Structure 1
Amino acid sequence: MSGEARADRVDGMLPVLPLTHDWSLHDAPSSRRIEAAALARHPPHTLIECAGLAVARLALALKPSGKAALVVAGPGNNGGDGLIAARQLAARGWSVEILLIGTEPATGTDAAHALATARQAGLAIHRGLPTRTRPADLVIDALLGLGASRAPEGEFADAIRAINEGRGAGATVLAVDLPSGLDVRTGQPLGTDAVRADHTITFLTLKTGLFTGEGRALAGRIWFDELGAPVGENGIAKLVGAPHIGLWQRAHERSATSHKGRHGDVVVLGGAPTMRGAAWLAASAALSAGAGRVYAALPDDDGQPWPARPELMHWDFARWHAPSAEWREVVAVCGCGGGAAIAAALSTVLHAATRVVLDADALNLIAGDESLQEATRKRAAHGWETILTPHPLEAARLLGEASATSVQADRLEAARQLAARFQATVVLKGSGSVVATPGRRPAINSTGSSALATAGSGDVLAGWIGGLWAQSPGISPHQLAMTAVAWHGAAAEGHAGPLLAADLIESMKALHAPSR
């Protein structure tokens, strides 16, 4: 927005992204428990005063030349945060207009205290939405908070639309705790309307919904202030990102005596006629990730050299019929452009290979064949490891759902169900990709951008997972998946417009740590 400052740290609050470490993520119940514990440690109204002051300080940092603010406040503590911020901004010379939506807060609550102090300060408070509001440099969305669990209706829906109209007219929108209308857990709008913020400041806990589904798009830049109350609870998930790339690189630094035989083999099963590009992308990604030898197993292999990647080797389909001892230790990346032509080989792989990555057509074949589903489920009992990388529609097919809508409605739960059903690690792709493994706390990836929304980017991810896994047979699939997804997303950040899949491989390769 015009005139908006680039703030990187403001009075103890931090921008969450890019990550410097993992963060715990919370839903509404765990956030309420942590809030209750924090309230018990402070005198009455202390915490809400601190939160409101933090909102005002961030507003001043974002709009150092701003003069006018519109505060849209609901009846709960979220609204109270906004009312205190309004008081603080007015005390610093800003012209502040307050719209109070809904009923007045209950007597004796923090929200009632915030409203009373705003009135004592002489601030103009309008009940409901007026026909016109004054032009504002900043709109503070303090309408709905953790308690929102159903679609906004009536004047609440009207207020959300008014906030978005203010943004369209050039105001910067700062949301308190989360954009109003966004589900705190799933990151999906509760109804047809949700605030689209430029910035969101969240308190005490980071909420899962800010980082997956539509959360990233609606929240804008996310800021966190723990209000002097460090969280002592792990939460329902964790937020991960680029630091996992460095962890992997430090653990796998190559010595002067390294050679290809020490870095494992990958076989990409896919690339049926007319779809060979998918296999080429996956195999090229595995090679660029650092695998020692990479093969492509094509249903109809003509033996011709691979375009621009002569290092890639051919895998004769007849080798799947050889004794599995000859190939069971390879990392098999299955499905990239394979179609139905890979069904028989896929069954063979599922029954023998120790490490398997399942993507695209492999997932579709499994979804439609109970015997392949059973073979996938039984792999864990043999001590074999499996990673599934579905996009939402593929996940829906695996779960027996008619469309991706139910998957997107609760991405964390869908990923958890898939991991439990197939006893495997699952990467549910999309904005805020979810990594789920039975018995492990799920992770939401923080890296990435819309530049990844191109054909073949999923094939690249599957191949990169295979390439890393070939070099590190002892790594847990959960850790491996978190690392690969973070790497995949980090390579796309900063790119304007779509990033073609072949170019994505080059961007990922460029993130390898330089040799010392």
Structure 2
Amino acid sequence: MRPLLPTTTTLPLFDVAASRRIEARALVRSPDLMERAGLAIAKLALALRRGEGPVWVACGPGNNGGDGRVAARWLGLHGTPVHIGHDAPQHPAIVIDALLGLGLNRAPAASLRAAMAAMQTCGAPILAVDLPSGLLADTGQPAGGHAVRANHTLALLTLKPGLFTGEGRAHCGRIWFDDLGIAPDEPPTADLLGPPPQPGRSPTSHKGSHGQVLVVGGAPGMQGAARLAARAALASGAGRVYVDLLGRLATEPADPGRPELMCGMPDELPQAVGVIGCGAGPGIASALPTLLPQLPRAVIDADALNAIASDAGLQVLLRGRPPGSTLLTPHPLEAARLLGRDIASLQDDRLAAARELAARFACSVVLKGSGTIVASPGQRLAVCASGGPALATAGSGDVLAGWLGGLWAQQPTAGAHAIACAGVDAHGRAGESGHVLRAGDLIERLAARH
């Protein structure tokens, strides 16, 4: 058993169907699996309890409840006072939430919601077994809007996607994991990203060895977005970074604070990684018919995504680009526009939405948000567990787009999916802070870790 985050390596995620298959086969090989699970829960509950009051074990009817009852027995053998039931004892030291688990597919019944509410208001820390009750394992959404907000969650046997995306992180608290000594015997549904490898630089390299990036965006009044993207590309190590600010006067520098950045288009556009759309406004629509066919690799963000969403001709150009050469970086509202859906239905199943976007536009997609999803045709989904609310600030998405472009410039043979996974995880880790991060400071944190 170990605390899971931050991850130290890429880990497998298994959806409900896969987790049930793995569990069924594991029970055949290891009939004592529930005993192991209950013992793990009891040990963690003892470590986390506050005070000398009873351990309240709220058990449901399924395997999740069975795990809770075994934990209660182990706790009793240890001499710890235990209360089993749906009603709260006086002054519990900790609550073990074993009401609902993997099999939930609808809103909890009224009686269970009452027990969930009692757990939430009893004043004791909550340890959820496998999943907080009411949280859907595949999507990270509360079923019918009702789910426990736990202080700790002990995932058992397999890790489920819903722990890490949607509302999962807000409901799970600190996530722990115990595989119960069972190795998964089928391929994962998705990957939980670990820290990306750090490619070395040759001692004989020069700026021409590390590629070039072209940032196109920054309409009047929004030039900061393009400049942030360009600064991020530069900080990642890209050899040359050009900034084409829409509406810029010929006498204006690309960025007065960063004289390393160059103005306008590079002479050899087909060799540049394009970062298109940051702060671009509606004017980017007229540039896309030229840029999409010419740029060998492109990171498409912000207003460029909105232009594509409203123009069938641009969508045809996008789908016609070579495989592995295009990366879209929408936030949920931009993604909903691209799919012609409302944002609520998209957020209901973020993994499915990212997969649909990748298939529809034949490119890699970074669906931003809590538990960012990376999806690409023919590739396994990836979920990013790094990051947090410090990234909920203006410009952090522009920094991500620029960082991705800069990484790609230095790794010209890498596909969009690999670049997206590496860049998203690095961006998230740099953004883990107890305070809101200004986008400019985020760039410096990225550079310091790179």
Same fold judged by TM-score > 0.5? Answer: yes
Q: 1:115 is matched with which residue?
A: none
User: Under a length normalisation based on structure 1, what TM-score does the superposition of the two structures give?
Assistant: 0.85
> What's the offset of the Cα at 1:347?
1.6
> What's the offset of the Cα at 1:384?
6.5
For 2:146 and 2:182, locate their aligned partners in 1 and report how far apart those are by CA, in whole Å: 32
State how 1:102-501 maps to structure 2 within 5 Å.
Answer: 128-129=86-87, 133-166=89-122, 169=123, 171-242=124-195, 244=196, 247=197, 249=198, 252-302=199-249, 303-305=251-253, 306-315=255-264, 326-380=268-322, 385-401=325-341, 403-493=342-432, 495-501=433-439
For 1:153 and 1:39, locate their aligned partners in 2 and report how far apart those are by CA, in whole Å: 29
For 1:426 and 1:416, locate their aligned partners in 2 and report how far apart those are by CA, in whole Å: 8
For 1:241 and 1:301, locate their aligned partners in 2 and report how far apart those are by CA, in whole Å: 40
Q: How many residues align?
A: 448
Q: SS of the counterpart of 1:201?
A: strand
> Would you say the 8 A contact 1:427–1:433 is kept in 2?
yes
For 1:240 and 1:66, locate their aligned partners in 2 and report how far apart those are by CA, in whole Å: 39
The CA RMSD over aligned residues, in Å, is: 1.4
> What's the offset of the Cα at 1:84?
1.3
Percent identity, aligned pairs only? 56
Aligned residue identity for 1:315: G
> Would you say the 8 A contact 1:51–1:81 is kept in 2?
yes
> What's the offset of the Cα at 1:497?
2.0
For 2:29 and 2:73, locate their aligned partners in 1 and report how far apart those are by CA, in whole Å: 25
Q: 1:95 is matched with which residue?
A: 81
Q: SS of the counterpart of 1:510?
A: helix
Which stretch shows the higher mean deviation, 298-307 or 470-479?
Answer: 298-307
Q: SS of the counterpart of 1:161?
A: helix
- Name which of 433, 446, 449 aligns with 1:508: 446
For 2:210 and 2:10, locate their aligned partners in 1 and report how far apart those are by CA, in whole Å: 28
> Would you say the 8 A contact 1:52–1:85 is kept in 2?
yes
Q: Is structure 2 residue 14 aligned with structure 1 residue 17? A: no
Q: SS of the counterpart of 2:294?
A: coil
> What's the offset of the Cα at 1:42?
2.6
> What's the offset of the Cα at 1:259?
1.1
For 1:253 and 1:76, locate their aligned partners in 2 and report how far apart those are by CA, in whole Å: 51
Q: How big is each residue's C-alpha offset from its partner over 1:207-230, in whole Å with a ceiling of 9 and x where there is no partner?
A: 010011111111111111111211
| Higher Cα radius of gyration | 1
Q: 1:27 is matched with which residue?
A: 15
> What's the offset of the Cα at 1:192?
2.1
> Would you say the 8 A contact 2:135–2:141 is kept in 1?
yes
> Would you say the 8 A contact 2:326–2:363 is kept in 1?
yes
Q: SS of the counterpart of 1:351?
A: helix
C-alpha distance 384-486 of structure 1, shift in aligned 2 (>3 A): closer
For 1:206 and 1:339, locate their aligned partners in 2 and report how far apart those are by CA, in whole Å: 41
State how 1:38-117 maps to structure 2 within 5 Å.
Answer: 38-43=26-31, 46-63=32-49, 66-99=52-85
> Would you say the 8 A contact 1:60–1:66 is kept in 2?
no
> Would you say the 8 A contact 1:354–1:384 is kept in 2?
no
Structure 2: give runs of 5+ residues left out of the alignment. Answer: none
Aligned residue identity for 1:29: A
For 1:189 and 1:349, locate their aligned partners in 2 and report how far apart those are by CA, in whole Å: 42
Q: How big is each residue's C-alpha offset from its partner over 1:325-356, in whole Å with a ceiling of 9 and x where there is no partner?
A: x3112000000000111222122111111101
Aligned residue identity for 1:88: W
> What's the offset of the Cα at 1:90?
2.0
> What's the offset of the Cα at 1:65?
5.5
User: Under a length normalisation based on structure 2, what TM-score does the superposition of the two structures give?
Assistant: 0.97
> What's the offset of the Cα at 1:67?
4.1
Q: How big is each residue's C-alpha offset from its partner over 1:182-210, in whole Å with a ceiling of 9 and x where there is no partner?
A: 00100011122211111111111110100
> Would you say the 8 A contact 2:324–2:417 is kept in 1?
no
Structure 1: give runs of 5+ residues left out of the alignment. Answer: 1-12, 100-127
> Would you say the 8 A contact 1:353–1:384 is kept in 2?
no
For 1:331 and 1:94, locate their aligned partners in 2 and report how far apart those are by CA, in whole Å: 62
> Would you say the 8 A contact 1:268–1:332 is kept in 2?
yes
Q: 1:9 is matched with which residue?
A: none
For 1:143 and 1:160, locate their aligned partners in 2 and report how far apart those are by CA, in whole Å: 8
> What's the offset of the Cα at 1:440?
0.5
Q: How big is each residue's C-alpha offset from its partner over 1:306-333, in whole Å with a ceiling of 9 and x where there is no partner?
A: 13211111105xx7xx8xxx31120000
Aligned residue identity for 1:80: G
C-alpha distance 395-77 of structure 1, shift in aligned 2 (>3 A): same
For 1:208 and 1:311, locate their aligned partners in 2 and report how far apart those are by CA, in whole Å: 42
